[in-house]
Structure 1
Amino acid sequence: MTVPHTSRARALVVCRDGDAIPPELHGAVIAIGNFDGLHRGHQSLIATAVEAAHRESRPAAILTFDPHPRAFFAPQASHFRLTPEPVKLKILAQLGVDVAFIRRFDATLAGTSARDFVHDLLHRQLGASALVIGGDFHFGRGREGTPAVLVELAGEEGIGVTTVGTVKDDGSAVSSSRIRAALEVGDIGTANELLGYRWFVEGEVRHGDKRGRVLGYPTANLRLDEGCHLAHGIYAVRVAVAPGEVRDGVASFGRRPTFDNGAPLLETFIFDFSGDLYGRSLDIEFIGRIRPEERFESAEALVEQMKRDEARAREMLAASRESELRSFIG
Structure 2
Amino acid sequence: MSVLFDKQIIALGFFDCVHMAHRKILETARQAALSMGVKSAAITFTGNIKTMPVVYDYDERVKLLSELCDNLISFEFSDDFKSMSAENFLMLLINKYNAVGFVCGYDYTFGKNAAGNSAFLSAFAKEHNFFCSIEVPLYCDGEPVSSTKIKHLLSEGNIVAANKLLVKPYHITQRVVHGRGQGHLFGCPTINFLPKNNVLLPKYGVYSTMSDINGKLYCSVTNIGNKPTFGDDVVSIETFVDGFSGSVYDSNVTIIFKDRLREIKKFDNASQLKQQIFEDIRRSKLCCE
TM bin, normalised by shorter chain, reads over 0.9
Identify the residue that residue 35 of structure 2 maps to in structure 1: 55
Identify the residue that residue 93 of structure 1 maps to in structure 2: 66
Identify the residue that residue 76 of structure 1 maps to in structure 2: none
Aligned residue for 1:297, secondary structure, equals: coil
RMSD: 1.7
Give yes or no for the alignment of 1:162 onto 2:133: yes
Q: Pick closer, same or farther for the CA change 1:223–1:29 going to 2, 3 Å.
A: same
- TM-score, L = length of structure 2: 0.94
Q: Which 5+ residue runs of structure 2 have no aligned equivalent? A: none
Aligned residue for 2:125, secondary structure, equals: helix
Identify the residue that residue 14 of structure 1 maps to in structure 2: none
d(CA) in 2 for partners of 1:197 and 1:114?
A: 32
Deviation at 1:152, TM superposition (A): 2.2
Relative to total residues, which structure has the larger strand share, 1 or 2?
Answer: 2
Identify the residue that residue 3 of structure 1 maps to in structure 2: none
Deviation at 1:223, TM superposition (A): 1.2
d(CA) in 2 for partners of 1:296 and 1:122?
A: 57
Deviation at 1:134, TM superposition (A): 0.6
2:229/2:267 contact within 8 Å kept: yes
Letter in 1 for 2:285: R
1:198-245 superposed Cα distances (whole Å, 9 cap, x missing partner): 1111110111121111121111111121333311111111111113x2
Q: Pick closer, same or farther for the CA change 1:123–1:155 going to 2, 3 Å.
A: farther
Identify the residue that residue 173 of structure 1 maps to in structure 2: 144
1:118/1:154 contact within 8 Å kept: no
Give yes or no for the alignment of 1:35 onto 2:15: yes
Give yes or no for the alignment of 1:104 onto 2:76: yes
d(CA) in 2 for partners of 1:57 and 1:87?
A: 29
d(CA) in 2 for partners of 1:303 and 1:242?
A: 26
Identify the residue that residue 202 of structure 2 maps to in structure 1: 230
Identify the residue that residue 325 of structure 1 maps to in structure 2: none
d(CA) in 1 for partners of 2:265 and 2:3?
A: 52
Identify the residue that residue 9 of structure 1 maps to in structure 2: none
Give yes or no for the alignment of 1:206 onto 2:177: yes
Aligned residue for 2:90, secondary structure, equals: helix
1:203/1:224 contact within 8 Å kept: no
Match of 2:48 among 68, 74, 89: 68
Identify the residue that residue 252 of structure 1 maps to in structure 2: 223
Aligned residue for 1:70, secondary structure, equals: coil
d(CA) in 2 for partners of 1:110 and 1:241?
A: 40
Letter in 2 for 1:271: D
2:10/2:101 contact within 8 Å kept: yes
Deviation at 1:21, TM superposition (A): 6.7
1:92-137 superposed Cα distances (whole Å, 9 cap, x missing partner): 2222x11110111122222211221122x21112110111011111
d(CA) in 2 for partners of 1:179 and 1:68?
A: 17
1:112/1:141 contact within 8 Å kept: yes
d(CA) in 2 for partners of 1:146 and 1:208?
A: 47
Q: Pick closer, same or farther for the CA change 1:38–1:158 going to 2, 3 Å.
A: same
- TM-score, L = length of structure 1: 0.83
Give yes or no for the alignment of 1:151 onto 2:122: yes
Aligned residue for 1:217, secondary structure, equals: coil
d(CA) in 1 for partners of 2:59 and 2:48?
A: 15
Seq. identity, %: 28
Aligned residues: 288
d(CA) in 1 for partners of 2:104 and 2:80?
A: 22
1:30/1:132 contact within 8 Å kept: yes
Aligned residue for 1:254, secondary structure, equals: strand
Aligned residue for 1:289, secondary structure, equals: strand
2:66/2:72 contact within 8 Å kept: no
1:60/1:98 contact within 8 Å kept: yes
d(CA) in 2 for partners of 1:104 and 1:94?
A: 22
